[in-house]
Amino acid sequence: MPRKTRWESVRRTAAELFAASGYAASSLSQLARLARLSKPGIYYHVRDKEELLFRICESTMAVLLQSAQLAAGSGRDPVAKLRQIIRAHANHYWDHSWDLVILFGQRRYLSPVRQRRIIALERVYLDLVRAIIRDGVRRRVFHRVDPSVATFSLFAILNTLDSWYDRKGAMRPEALVRQIERLFFGGLVVRTRRRAHG
């Protein structure tokens, strides 16, 4: 197996293991067994278990960040930009939900320096989204909401999917994303003209 592919297999197997058993309860011996490698085969890629956790978190953020940067730089209107980010984030969740479970549930096991690195990447991501929302508010395309509250509310919904969305249920992923967009963009309450600005 080419080196890059082998690393990707180690990374994916580690993410599955950490997400299923928890970082603290997982060992590199288990990982080696699941990835069908020797322990030296694991150490070829990472110095220790924590580096593995770090690289899972870092690469997850890198992918999310790249899509957000593409959307932010697209020159489209704020609604279209946000829609693009929501879909990319949701798609990452469908395809790599383990990564997000680990990013949000297990990064506390990282060393302080590495936690700060992940938090810094997250801040860049959040700032991109917040800037799009702020721009939309300024241009009166969006209601006068607090851009931070709107940003965090959006990711609260997207990042908790794992705990409430049943992939085997009747609602398809695409339909779920449309529902979330409809709710986040349009709100719950039908405004009659009389109370439209109430």
Q: Which residues bind a second copy (CB under 8 A)?
A: 79, 82, 133, 136, 140-143, 145-146, 149-150, 152-153, 156-157, 159-160, 164-165, 171, 176, 179-180, 182-191
User: Shortest gap between Cβ of 96 and a second copy (angstroms)?
Assistant: 20
Nearer to a second copy, 15 or 133 (CB): 133
Burial class (CB in 10 A: 0-12, 13-18, 19+), 102: buried
Using DSSP's 3-state secondary structure scheme, residue 166 falls into coil
Nearest to 158 by CA among 123, 188, 184, 187: 184
Q: Which helix (DSSP H) or strand (DSSP E) does residue 58 occupy?
A: helix 49-72
Nearer to a second copy, 54 or 109 (CB): 109
In residues, how long is the chain?
Answer: 198
Taking the complex as a whole, how short is the minimal distance between the CB of residue 82 and a second copy, in angstroms? 8
Q: How far is the CB of 150 from a second copy (least distance, A)?
A: 6
Token code pair at residue 84: 């693009």
In this complex, which beta carbon is closest to a second copy, that of residue 66 or of residue 160?
160
What is the spatial distance between Cα 90 and Cα 42, in angstroms, rounded to a whole number?
Answer: 30
H-helix or E-strand containing 173?
A: helix 173-186
Least distance from a second copy to the Cβ atom of residue 193, Å: 9
Instruction: Give the separation between CA 90 and CA 158, rounded to whole angstroms.
Output: 7
Contact present, 27 and 17 (Cβ < 8 Å): no
Residues 129 and 82: beta-carbon distance below 8 Å: yes
* Shortest Å distance, C-beta 121 to a second copy: 16
